[in-house]
Amino acid sequence: MAGDNDSKYRPATQLVTGGRSGDFARDVVNPPVWRASTHLYDNCAELRARKAANRDGQFFYGRRGAPTQWALSEALTALEPGAAGTVLYPSGLAALVGALLTVLRSGDVLLVADNAYDPTRNTATGLLAGFGIEHRFFDPLDLDAYEAAFCDRTRAVMLEVPGSLTMEVCDIPALARIARAKGAVSLVDNTWATSLGFPALKHGCDIAITALTKHVGGHSDVMMGSASAGDHWYRRLRLGAQQLGHVVSPDDAALVLRGLRTMGVRLEKQSATALAVAEWLAGRDEVAHVLAPMLPGTPGHALWQRDFAGGCGLFSFVLKGGDDAARCRLVDALALFGIGYSWGGFESLALPFDVEPVRDTMPWPKAGWGVEDRHAIRLSIGLEDQDDLIADLANGFAALTEG
Ligand SMILES: *Cc1c(COP(=O)(O)O)cnc(C)c1O
Identify whether residues 269 and 135 lie together within a single domain.
no
Q: Report the C-alpha gap between 353 and 314 in whole angstroms.
A: 14
**Domain containing residue 57:** 11-259
Q: Report the C-alpha gap between 114 and 95 in whole angstroms.
A: 19
Q: How many residues does the chain have?
A: 403
Q: Report the C-alpha gap between 291 and 311 in whole angstroms.
A: 13
Which residues make Cβ contacts (< 8 Å) with residue 23, sequence separation at least 6? Answer: none
Residue 69 lies in a domain: yes
Query: In 3D, which of 257, 319, 274 has the Cα closest to residue 18?
Result: 257
Q: Report the C-alpha gap between 51 and 60 in whole angstroms.
A: 6
Identify whether residues 379 and 232 lie together within a single domain.
no
Query: In 3D, which of 26, 9, 199 has the Cα closest to residue 18?
Result: 9
For the domain that residue 283 is a member of, what is the CATH number? 3.90.1150.10
Identify whether residues 66 and 133 lie together within a single domain.
yes
Domain count, the chain: 2
- Among candidate residues 35, 48, 51, 63, the one labeled active-site is 63
Identify whether residues 248 and 269 lie together within a single domain.
no
Identify whether residues 68 and 202 lie together within a single domain.
yes
Atom 4 of ligand 1, nearest CA residue: 92
* Residue type, position 107, single letter: G
Q: Report the C-alpha gap between 94 and 262 in whole angstroms.
A: 25
Q: Report the C-alpha gap between 263 and 374 in whole angstroms.
A: 33
Indicate if 26 belongs to the active site. Answer: no
Please indicate whether residue 189, judged by its CB atom, sits closer than 6 Å to ligand 1.
yes
Q: Which residues of the chain have pLDDT under 50?
A: 1-4
Residue 186 lies in a domain: yes
Identify whether residues 241 and 309 lie together within a single domain.
no
Identify whether residues 235 and 318 lie together within a single domain.
no
Task: Determine the pLDDT at residue 7.
Answer: 65
Please indicate whether residue 213, judged by its CB atom, sits closer than 6 Å to ligand 1.
yes
Residue 3 lies in a domain: no
DSSP string, 84-147: SEEEEESSHHHHHHHHHHHH--TT-EEEEETTS-HHHHHHIIIIIHHTT-EEEEE-TT-HHHHH
DSSP 8-class letter at 37: S
Please indicate whether residue 191, judged by its CB atom, sits closer than 6 Å to ligand 1.
yes
- Among candidate residues 108, 139, 189, 392, the one labeled active-site is 189
Strand order, beta sheet including 134-138: 85-89, 225-229, 207-211, 185-189, 154-160, 109-113, 134-138
Strand partners, 158: 112, 187
Indicate if 189 belongs to the active site. Answer: yes
Query: In 3D, which of 261, 262, 292 has the Cα closest to residue 279?
Result: 292
Identify whether residues 237 and 270 lie together within a single domain.
no
Phi/psi at 188 (5° precision) = -130, 135
Identify whether residues 135 and 247 lie together within a single domain.
yes
- Among candidate residues 20, 136, 155, 214, the one labeled active-site is 214
Identify whether residues 198 and 299 lie together within a single domain.
no
Indicate if 63 belongs to the active site. Answer: yes
Atom 2 of ligand 1, nearest CA residue: 211
Choice from 118, 158, 187, 191 to test ligand 1 binding pocket (greatest atom count within 8 A of CB): 191
Of 226, 259, 292, which closes a domain?
A: 259
User: If residue 260 lies in a helix (H) or strand (E), which one and from where to where?
Assistant: helix 250-261
Residue 1 lies in a domain: no
Task: Determine the pLDDT at residue 57.
Answer: 87
Please indicate whether residue 318, judged by its CB atom, sits closer than 6 Å to ligand 1.
no
Residue 112 lies in a domain: yes
Please indicate whether residue 102, judged by its CB atom, sits closer than 6 Å to ligand 1.
no
Residue 268 lies in a domain: yes
Residue 5 lies in a domain: no
For the domain that residue 109 is a member of, what is the CATH number? 3.40.640.10
Residue 114 lies in a domain: yes
Query: In 3D, which of 323, 192, 339 has the Cα closest to residue 267?
Result: 192
Query: Which segments of 124-209 does DSSP mark as H helices, in order?
Result: 129-130, 143-149, 172-181, 194-197
Identify whether residues 207 and 71 lie together within a single domain.
yes
CA of 94 to the centre of ligand 1 (A): 9
Identify whether residues 299 and 316 lie together within a single domain.
yes
Task: Determine the pLDDT at residue 357.
Answer: 86
E-only strand ranges, 254-359: 287-291, 314-319, 338-339, 349-353
Of 234, 259, 284, which closes a domain?
A: 259
Task: Determine the pLDDT at residue 2.
Answer: 37
Which residues make Cβ contacts (< 8 Å) with residue 327, sequence separation at least 6? Answer: 319, 352, 375, 377, 400
Q: Are 393 and 372 within 8 A, CB to CB? A: no
**The pTM is what?**
0.96
CA distances to 13, 109, 294, 300, 337 from 297, in Å: 32, 36, 9, 9, 26
Of 198, 233, 259, which closes a domain?
A: 259
Task: Determine the pLDDT at residue 5.
Answer: 58
Q: Specify the 3-state DSSP secondary structure of 371.
A: coil
